[in-house]
Structure 1
Amino acid sequence: MIVALAGGVRPRALYRFRGPVTNHGAEPRPPCLLGGGGPTVARVSTRIYITSAEGHTGKSSIALGVLDTLSHELGRVGVFRPVARSTSEPDYVLELLLSHDSVDLPYDDCIGVTYDDVHADPDAALATIVGRFAAVERQCDAVVIVGSDYTDVGSPTELSFNARIAANLGAPVLLVLGGRTSDGQRPRSGADMRQVAELTTTELRSEHAGLLAVIANRAEPGHLDEVVAGIGDALAASPEGLVPVWAIPEDRVLVSPTLRSVMQATGARLLRGDEALLDREAVGVVVAAMSMENVLPRLTEGAVVVVPGDRSDVLVATVLAHASDTFPSLAGIVLNGGFDLAPQVVRLIGGLGSPLPILWSELGTYDTALTITQTRGRLAADSSRKTDLALSLFERHVDGEELLRLLQVSPSKVVTPLMFEYQLLDRARSSRKHIVLPEGDDDRILRAASSLLQRGVAKLTLLGNEASVRARGAELGLDLTDAAVLDPTDHELQVKFATEYAALRAHKGITMDMAMDTVTDVSYFGTMMVRLGLADGMVSGAKHTTAHTIRPSFEVIKTLPDVGVVSSVFLMALADRVLVYGDCAVIPDPTAEQLADIAISSAQTAEQFGIEPRIAMLSYSTGTSGSGADVEKVRQATALVRERRPDLLVEGPIQYDAAADPTVAAAKMPDSEVAGRATVFIFPDLNTGNNTYKAVQRSAGAVAIGPILQGLRKPINDLSRGALVSDIVNTVAITAIQAGTAATEGASL
């Protein structure tokens, strides 16, 4: 009996091989295909060939999902495009995959041949592909091979050639079938999918390409089971046996063009509005060639509105509707017909201060609307929302563990920055803690929140005026539906927080009136949420100083038992491992007792993130070779750590080279269990720590994650005011992990 399941929290393999699966599926084709005798391709790395039977299946999003899945386990993942449209114009699929942090290959090296080369001499083109692929493979632990795009020759011929390439490269095929007809207008039924699967698998079989799994992409959301069953019926009759089948639902955002693409397609220019909003997806078209009262009811969320350039009344009404809370948020407006707006209309719209992009095009209404509807959405390297959404859909509907098992991927012994960042997100996702982000008026925070929610990393509350926060999120094309938004001036919460704060700070002379004013500050408001259990942790600092962010936590969260100070560490993700540096952000000149506190807290932080703590208490001398007050402070701190935590491995005073380099350690401290193998580096003062982490970050290309505050009863973490969206995402994940650990250890206020 065959069970077909398309839904569920964790996708499962739906159809399984009857026999064992080799690492790369089918054996390479005989050399005769290359036009003569020659060696077969050496098996060096994991390979997977992603192809489809037609165009517009969303193959690029599947390739991105596979690439991301492999990068979680392997350090060097490459991409290869056997056939590209040309070598003179950029291939957007290849650019997308090369932009992934796990890939470090030159663009030109990742292309085999062009369509023209295939037309001229298919066998010679195939030989070139094999040779160029081998050069890429030598540099990688795995290679994701992405087939051609069906923009040149007929589908049967093109699928056949892709199958030949896969067989000659010894790469198993991940077949992507479109859940909609090739024009994208009609969803395919289970019977349709069975027919497509029968035709395509027969073509693969005829070219001796091995089938690894099948993904039905862009399937009708309510009919995933039917789609999977249809494909399964086709595979059940095939001689190779059964393989896994997964189905991913259609999502309008992924297939919708950005407003920037609309502008380029219609030959329009930006008349006014926020240029950053051109990257929002236009998920519908409204032709406003009618009176104002008839246009307004037809406005839809995320639509681009086509307005005749001589209908200034409709234009003004549309801009006002977008600014109103009672109408949908629009992607933009296209003024068509080539009419210039009257100066008074331009002044009126300018006075409204709306960031809504207004484009000006010379095309007529029909041509404008037709061009927009024919403009296809692309998953491109600069589309962070689409990337997050594509990865989220892949993770939810494709069993990544099963895919890795089929490819027989063994986890890498090294930990790259990307692998570590994924581990952070994965651990945070497993507990789904509630994190408050006080700076809801910062675009970086909103973008990070959208990414975190798409990937299911944490529950989030944003602080700010709800209407303003959600309106800005909509303008940026972000999905913040699952985020809670709280206003720090909310009277009920203000009274609740002020009462608690006044009681805690009464000994400092804080009155209720003073507390009412204090808790409306976003940092205090967010910290009080954590204090009272309305959130598990807080991340702030994108727009505020470190002092502004962490001062409230000193006042109301307090330190853990047996911890004298709040300190910080950076997780330094080097090319092959992760180290802990502390303190690099909080305490300028710690005493010996404070250094011991920092060391013990840093060791606990290391353990939280899966790093075995071996502590190096750094100084300008090693062992007994030096003297002086600074060295003595480190020596005393080391003794205190050993006294308080005899279970920890600690060495000090020790110089950085002796702590990090086994060769130096063998000469200076040959009997030490820490020297040459240290994972936790404790600096004698803030000046040394801060400069060292920045020097290593810049010179060694390390990813510095932090600062991570430690020693508090509940996690509060600070951001740099220059923080990137990825920094915010990582810090939220870290805070969620800390919150999970605190809950496990039973820390309470």
Structure 2
Amino acid sequence: MRGIFVAGLGRGDGHGLVELGLTELLSRRVERLGVYRTIAREERAAGPPGAYAPRDERDADRELDAGLELIRGRYRLSRVVGGISPAEAARIGEDELLTRLADGCEAVVDECDALLVFGGHGAGPGGLGFDARLAAKLGVPVVLLAGGGAAAPPGRVVERDKAVVKAGAAVRPARTGRTAEEIAAELRAAYTLFSDAGCTVIAAIVNRARPNLALDAGLPVPCYVIPEKPALAAPTVRQVAAAARAAHIQGDDDGLQRDVLGFVFGGATLSVFLEHLTDGALVITPGDRADVLLGAMAADMAGTAQPAGVMLTLGERPSETVRTITAKLAPQIPVLSTAADSFSVASMLSGLEGGITPEDHRKVESALGHFSAHVDAAALAGHIEPTRSERVTSRIFEHLIVQRAVADRRHIVLPEGEDERVQRAADIVLRRGIADVTLLGRPDVIRPRVHALGLDLHDVRVLDPLTSPLRDTFAERYALLREHRGMTPRRARDIMGDPNFFGTMMVHAGVVHGMVSGAAGTTAATILPAFQVIKTAPGTPAASAVVFACLADRVVLFADCGMHAMPGASELADIAICTARTAKLFGVEPRVAMLSYSSGPAGAGGDMERVREATELVRSRAPELPVEGPMRYDTAIDGARAGRDPEGSPVAGRATVLVFPDAEIAASACRAVRGAPGTVAYGPVLQGLRQPVNDLDRDATVGDIVDMVAITAVQAQAVAL
């Protein structure tokens, strides 16, 4: 059986993050992946919507079930199966349980290329020893998962009567911290237990570790330490509202997805309250304290603190006049109302953790970025992936690009920083660790909008080309570059107020490594500055554009897509060679088909002679490249047809680089492939420039922008070599 067994050593290991990370890792490497949880936890009995029930052991069970729901909701896997409930497991003998779970895994793996098995975290009748027996019976390698013992961050309480802050008064109970020696001893004991059972342990992961935990487990396998990231465990405002049985009475629905990083109970005087209001805090105050409500909104508007939301207690709601004012001060901040008093709310929220849910896409992206930043995914995959599928699906290809970008992080500038799609894309790029980002635009426009959307762009540099000190420096350089065209310093300074020209100069000056633009502007506005400033790479006569088309069985590059209306034979040859280099850069073995309306030497007229000449030029300029032409599109793609015409070709039916005779035909092919079911296309991507600049479609989605940033980052890595 191919796959991996995740053996949790106990509670508090934050297994949801690791399970998500491993599922992401394998789902992008094998075509058919299954997930099997051995002990499927029972859900808490359902009650009225938003009803509160005291936390008990069943809440942890529910968290485990939520992990499967997250995987089901995010991934299209072959099977996601929950095994046996703890109650049922307790009723049957250990040997029978072992047989039933092993049979269940075997039934799932018959439909999959690989299987992820999540152990019972000691919940089975034989505890961790049972997991060791099961993993040995299944014959899959094991990853040990231990909790790092990080303490939960305390809430901050402002007392109503004493008007003082009690430092360290926790709303969430802190988890018991453990020393590095205790964690190491636990891992060594677990390693011995699984090894003695006949298992192959390939790695250990310590999750939710204290910051700067120095761990030397003394194991003969890699040990990865993932530090605690409070935002991942933080509940959202929506989850807090459900726990406290609170109604949403004001603010955008998007605000309900904000993370609650702490609690401030606003019972003190306004001045004391404001001193202790922090970013991400949920303000909990009696509903008759209009001053606290107004103070929280004013603090957000002034930028001194940005609370996650406000919860009004005792069933009291502010007057219409107060609500009108607060709605204008900070319309994005959610305001909740509950009939409970502040003490009861504190009890309801005690120990509340939000976890990672399918609908919280930003938290999912943060979790995946956090996992990949601390776990060597490539090394781990090498152990758990005996054979890799030769089929490169769009999901696998996207993962390869992202993995390449994350491995050597580059800095990308996005000139359309005031566009909401660009802001959302930047948030995902940062959460996944794909690249560092600079947004161009007015900070007083971008920052409030980003805050209103609940995005985390604190690490993003925001520059306004009109006011940046770099404007004069760039103007001087641009004037020198275009002096032969009559450019003056004054005119150059005016031009540097344009975000695309400013961003291009950032790339040219080495301030950033690449640029992505065009979601809100024209193609010409994006590429003209690049042609004037960056220009083509040495040995490349002209830039061209390529589209990556992920077909059912492989990735195929289409060229040229929009740069050359009717290229001559020499230009076609240059495009073919340049596209072959791009294919290699992105891990695609180049097999070049020079396309025309007919295959082989028999055809004549039209573009046949031009394509035939271009093919010979490619052979002479790049003799190492497998190239055939003229060749029809279906002959290049369809293996069955390739068996008849032409027989024995190294390219026909296996082509990965398709060079079209003119832009109109290439554009038609791109439109067709984008509309084909099961096919995903990326691009056009500009190739042949000294430094990467890429253009987006006007209707680009957030995902399109993220993908283009990753592609641009990979191109920038090649420039640095």
Letter in 2 for 1:266: A
1:71-86 pair list within 5 angstroms: 71=27, 73-86=29-42
1:45 is matched with 2
User: How far does the alpha carbon of each residue in 1:316-366 deviate from its partner, in whole angstroms, 9 at most, with x for none?
Assistant: 1111101223x1322222222222221111221222254222223232222
Once residues 647 and 53 of structure 1 are traced to their aligned partners in structure 2, the CA distance between those partners, rounded to angstroms, is 56
Q: 1:468 to 1:122 in 2, by over 3 A?
A: farther
Contact 2:150–2:209 under 8 Å retained in 1: no
Contact 2:79–2:108 under 8 Å retained in 1: no
2:241 is matched with 263
2:67 is matched with 93
The answer to whether the aligner puts 1:117 opposite 2:104 as a matched pair is: no
Which of residues 208, 211, 218 is equivalent to 1:218? 208
1:57 is matched with 13
Contact 2:635–2:653 under 8 Å retained in 1: yes
1:93-172 pair list within 5 angstroms: 93-99=67-73, 101=75, 104-107=77-80, 110-121=81-92, 126-148=98-120, 159=128, 162-163=131-132, 165-172=134-141
Deviation of 1:163 after TM superposition, in Å, equals 4.8
Letter in 2 for 1:104: L
User: How far does the alpha carbon of each residue in 1:23-74 deviate from its partner, in whole angstroms, 9 at most, with x for none?
Assistant: xxxxxxxxxxxxxxxxxxxxx32332333323x4201111223333445654
The answer to whether the aligner puts 1:439 opposite 2:416 as a matched pair is: yes
1:4 is matched with none
Contact 1:573–1:704 under 8 Å retained in 2: yes
Q: TM-score scaled to structure 1, two decimals? A: 0.82
Letter in 1 for 2:23: L
Contact 2:90–2:125 under 8 Å retained in 1: no
Q: 1:186 to 1:614 in 2, by over 3 A?
A: same
Letter in 2 for 1:669: P
Contact 1:50–1:63 under 8 Å retained in 2: no
The answer to whether the aligner puts 1:570 opposite 2:539 as a matched pair is: no
Once residues 203 and 648 of structure 2 are traced to their aligned partners in structure 1, the CA distance between those partners, rounded to angstroms, is 53
Which of residues 297, 311, 335 is equivalent to 1:358? 335
Q: 1:171 to 1:459 in 2, by over 3 A?
A: same
Once residues 633 and 408 of structure 1 are traced to their aligned partners in structure 2, the CA distance between those partners, rounded to angstroms, is 46
Deviation of 1:649 after TM superposition, in Å, equals 3.3
Q: 1:163 to 1:632 in 2, by over 3 A?
A: same
Contact 2:549–2:681 under 8 Å retained in 1: yes
Contact 2:594–2:627 under 8 Å retained in 1: yes
Once residues 247 and 741 of structure 1 are traced to their aligned partners in structure 2, the CA distance between those partners, rounded to angstroms, is 30
The answer to whether the aligner puts 1:313 opposite 2:291 as a matched pair is: yes
1:11 is matched with none
Which of residues 463, 468, 492 is equivalent to 1:486? 463
Q: 1:651 to 1:442 in 2, by over 3 A?
A: same
Contact 1:560–1:713 under 8 Å retained in 2: yes
Q: 1:178 to 1:674 in 2, by over 3 A?
A: closer
Deviation of 1:86 after TM superposition, in Å, equals 4.8
Contact 2:150–2:228 under 8 Å retained in 1: no
Q: 1:116 to 1:431 in 2, by over 3 A?
A: closer
Where do 5+ consecutive residues of structure 1 fail to align?
A: 1-43, 236-241, 745-749
What secondary structure, in the 3-state scheme, does the structure 2 residue paired with 1:669 have? coil
Contact 1:224–1:248 under 8 Å retained in 2: no
Once residues 432 and 191 of structure 1 are traced to their aligned partners in structure 2, the CA distance between those partners, rounded to angstroms, is 34
Where do 5+ consecutive residues of structure 2 fail to align?
A: 47-61, 152-172
Deviation of 1:479 after TM superposition, in Å, equals 4.2
Deviation of 1:680 after TM superposition, in Å, equals 0.5
User: How far does the alpha carbon of each residue in 1:459-488 deviate from its partner, in whole angstroms, 9 at most, with x for none?
Assistant: 332212345544544555544344332221
Once residues 547 and 315 of structure 1 are traced to their aligned partners in structure 2, the CA distance between those partners, rounded to angstroms, is 49
Q: 1:407 to 1:496 in 2, by over 3 A?
A: closer
Q: 1:129 to 1:575 in 2, by over 3 A?
A: farther
Once residues 104 and 594 of structure 2 are traced to their aligned partners in structure 1, the CA distance between those partners, rounded to angstroms, is 50
The answer to whether the aligner puts 1:612 opposite 2:589 as a matched pair is: yes
Q: 1:47 to 1:434 in 2, by over 3 A?
A: closer
What secondary structure, in the 3-state scheme, does the structure 2 residue paired with 1:340 have? coil
Which of residues 66, 74, 82 is equivalent to 2:22? 66
2:662 is matched with 685
Deviation of 1:285 after TM superposition, in Å, equals 0.8
Contact 1:574–1:700 under 8 Å retained in 2: no
Higher deviation after alignment, 587-596 or 597-606: 587-596
Deviation of 1:633 after TM superposition, in Å, equals 4.2
What secondary structure, in the 3-state scheme, does the structure 2 residue paired with 1:221 have? coil
Aligned-CA RMSD value: 3.4
Letter in 1 for 2:226: I
Deviation of 1:301 after TM superposition, in Å, equals 2.0
Which of residues 435, 438, 448 is equivalent to 1:458? 435
Q: 1:613 to 1:211 in 2, by over 3 A?
A: closer
1:176 is matched with 145
Once residues 329 and 363 of structure 1 are traced to their aligned partners in structure 2, the CA distance between those partners, rounded to angstroms, is 25
Deviation of 1:412 after TM superposition, in Å, equals 4.1
Once residues 580 and 221 of structure 2 are traced to their aligned partners in structure 1, the CA distance between those partners, rounded to angstroms, is 46
2:170 is matched with none
What secondary structure, in the 3-state scheme, does the structure 2 residue paired with 1:49 have? strand
Q: 1:487 to 1:701 in 2, by over 3 A?
A: same
Deviation of 1:535 after TM superposition, in Å, equals 2.0
Contact 2:585–2:718 under 8 Å retained in 1: yes
Letter in 1 for 2:283: V
Once residues 206 and 662 of structure 1 are traced to their aligned partners in structure 2, the CA distance between those partners, rounded to angstroms, is 50
Deviation of 1:581 after TM superposition, in Å, equals 0.9
Higher deviation after alignment, 654-663 or 418-427: 418-427
Once residues 360 and 705 of structure 2 are traced to their aligned partners in structure 1, the CA distance between those partners, rounded to angstroms, is 18
Once residues 610 and 131 of structure 2 are traced to their aligned partners in structure 1, the CA distance between those partners, rounded to angstroms, is 67
Contact 2:33–2:79 under 8 Å retained in 1: no
Q: TM-score scaled to structure 2, two decimals? A: 0.85
Higher deviation after alignment, 542-551 or 57-66: 542-551
Deviation of 1:637 after TM superposition, in Å, equals 3.8
Letter in 1 for 2:178: R
Q: 1:160 to 1:625 in 2, by over 3 A?
A: same
1:244-283 pair list within 5 angstroms: 244-283=222-261
Which of residues 512, 519, 529 is equivalent to 1:552? 529
**Percent of pairs with identical residues:** 40
Which of residues 287, 294, 298 is equivalent to 2:272? 294
Once residues 650 and 191 of structure 2 are traced to their aligned partners in structure 1, the CA distance between those partners, rounded to angstroms, is 58
Once residues 719 and 212 of structure 1 are traced to their aligned partners in structure 2, the CA distance between those partners, rounded to angstroms, is 42
Once residues 383 and 248 of structure 2 are traced to their aligned partners in structure 1, the CA distance between those partners, rounded to angstroms, is 49
What secondary structure, in the 3-state scheme, does the structure 1 residue paired with 2:214 have? helix
User: How far does the alpha carbon of each residue in 1:100-133 deviate from its partner, in whole angstroms, 9 at most, with x for none?
Assistant: 55x52244xx222333433444566554433332
Q: 1:544 to 1:356 in 2, by over 3 A?
A: farther
